[in-house]
């Protein structure tokens, strides 16, 4: 029989200590849980970050912002990737409005075949649903930066373009015409491939003049048709035909060419001149008919 008074639940010093600790711990635990319950800023529904600080900031961000810049500060150029992310990706990431899709070599190959300088100029002046400079102003992005973005996109879709030459420090923001003056001067040709690609781009740009005024550049063109054919192949056709891009018959591959060469040569020339399936007319170039035929001959002779 216990001598303790009836009804008193605490009978030993140990029980007393336990009761005191519980007396503190339970309310504290409740307070902590309540505080956590009230402060819900960091918790979101499973599978969503809608309430995260960045997401909220993005939703309530002002539509327009005024950017005050020091006109005398040295200009810090964005990289091609940064310009692409900020501007061009709006259309080019998804292929919106018929834009050639980022990383899609099928979309880009015929455009890449036009050469870097042409693409650069097109990006500056606009084309169809593509707004000039992607809709930016020369104050936002210089010609040079737009050129970097062009090279960035094209190089992610199979091209091997060199970045445009960086404007000299202190030079006024390059005027739009600068794109035309920019080509092969490429001061730092570190990579032989890139230099070759740039030379090809410059050569493609020169083709229209060459065919109307044979004095320009390759004056010997028509004199030596096979040279012209080889040159045009290297400038234009190899963009697709070297590796078989888009299903093009591969240069020097007999099996690819044999079925096509069952057609009379006139038919084969016609395909090259006027296009066939994914093959753009004249490979997307503005070369003369004679040069295109010479390029066909050059390719055909390599596949016999």
Q: Which residues bind ligand HEC (CB under 6 A)?
A: 83, 87-88, 90-92, 97-100, 109-111, 113-114, 119, 122-123, 127-131, 133-135, 146, 149-150, 232, 236-237, 239-241, 245-249, 260, 263, 268, 271-272, 276-280, 282-285, 292, 295-296
Chain position carrying tokens 């300088």: 117
Chain position carrying tokens 């100029």: 121
Token pair, residue 182, equals: 């920019």
Torsion of CA 93, 98, 100, 104, to 10 degrees: 70
Q: How far apart (Å, rounded) are the C-alpha atoms in residues 284 and 2?
A: 106
Among 163, 226, 150, smallest CA distance to 191 is for 163
- Minimal distance in Å, beta carbon 217 to ligand HEC? 17
- Minimal distance in Å, beta carbon 297 to ligand HEC? 9
Token pair, residue 55, equals: 């997401």
- Minimal distance in Å, beta carbon 226 to ligand HEC? 13
Token pair, residue 133, equals: 């400079």
Token pair, residue 302, equals: 């390599």
Q: How far apart (Å, rounded) are the C-alpha atoms in residues 115 and 98?
A: 20
- Minimal distance in Å, beta carbon 205 to ligand HEC? 12
Q: How far apart (Å, rounded) are the C-alpha atoms in residues 258 and 229?
A: 20
Among 160, 115, 157, 161, smallest CA distance to 246 is for 157
Q: Is residue 181 a contact partner of residue 130, using CB atoms and an 8 Å limit?
A: no
Nearer to ligand HEC, 11 or 274 (CB): 274
- Minimal distance in Å, beta carbon 163 to ligand HEC? 13
Nearer to ligand HEC, 87 or 201 (CB): 87
Residue 185 — φ and ψ, nearest 5°? -65, -10
- Minimal distance in Å, beta carbon 52 to ligand HEC? 27
- Minimal distance in Å, beta carbon 165 to ligand HEC? 17
Nearer to ligand HEC, 27 or 95 (CB): 95
Nearer to ligand HEC, 11 or 127 (CB): 127
Nearer to ligand HEC, 47 or 104 (CB): 104
Nearer to ligand HEC, 147 or 194 (CB): 147
Among 249, 250, 253, smallest CA distance to 277 is for 249
Nearer to ligand HEC, 178 or 232 (CB): 232
Among 192, 131, 136, smallest CA distance to 162 is for 192
Nearer to ligand HEC, 78 or 194 (CB): 78
Burial of 161 (C-beta count, 10 Å sphere; 0-12/13-18/19+): buried
- Minimal distance in Å, beta carbon 299 to ligand HEC? 6
């Amino acid at each position: 029989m216990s001598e303790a008074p009836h009804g008193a639940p605490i009978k030993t010093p140990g029980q007393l200590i336990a009761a005191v600790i519980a007396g503190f711990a339970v309310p504290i635990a409740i307070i902590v849980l309540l505080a956590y319950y009230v402060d819900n800023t960091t918790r979101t529904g499973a599978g969503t970050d809608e309430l995260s600080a960045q997401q909220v900031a993005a939703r309530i961000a002002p539509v327009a912002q005024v950017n005050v810049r020091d006109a005398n500060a040295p200009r810090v150029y964005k990289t091609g990737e940064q310009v692409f992310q900020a501007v061009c990706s709006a259309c080019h990431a998804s292929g919106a409005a018929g834009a050639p899709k980022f990383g899609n070599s099928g979309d880009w190959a015929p455009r890449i075949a036009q050469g870097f300088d042409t693409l650069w100029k097109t990006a500056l002046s606009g084309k169809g649903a593509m707004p000039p400079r992607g809709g930016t102003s020369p104050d936002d992005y210089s010609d040079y930066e737009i050129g970097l973005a062009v090279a960035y996109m094209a190089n992610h879709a199979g091209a091997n373009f060199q970045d445009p030459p960086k404007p000299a420090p202190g030079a006024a923001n390059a005027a739009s015409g600068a794109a035309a003056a920019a080509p092969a001067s490429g001061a730092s040709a570190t990579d032989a491939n890139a230099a070759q690609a740039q030379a090809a781009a410059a050569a493609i740009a020169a083709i229209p003049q060459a065919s109307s005024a044979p004095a320009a550049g390759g004056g010997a063109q028509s004199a030596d048709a096979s040279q012209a054919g080889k040159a045009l192949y290297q400038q234009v056709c190899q963009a697709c035909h070297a590796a078989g891009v888009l299903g093009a018959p591969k240069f020097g591959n007999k099996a690819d060419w044999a079925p096509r060469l069952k057609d009379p040569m006139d038919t084969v020339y016609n395909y090259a001149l006027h296009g066939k399936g994914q093959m753009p007319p004249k490979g997307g170039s503005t070369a003369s008919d004679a040069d295109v035929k010479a390029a066909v001959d050059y390719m055909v002779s390599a596949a016999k």
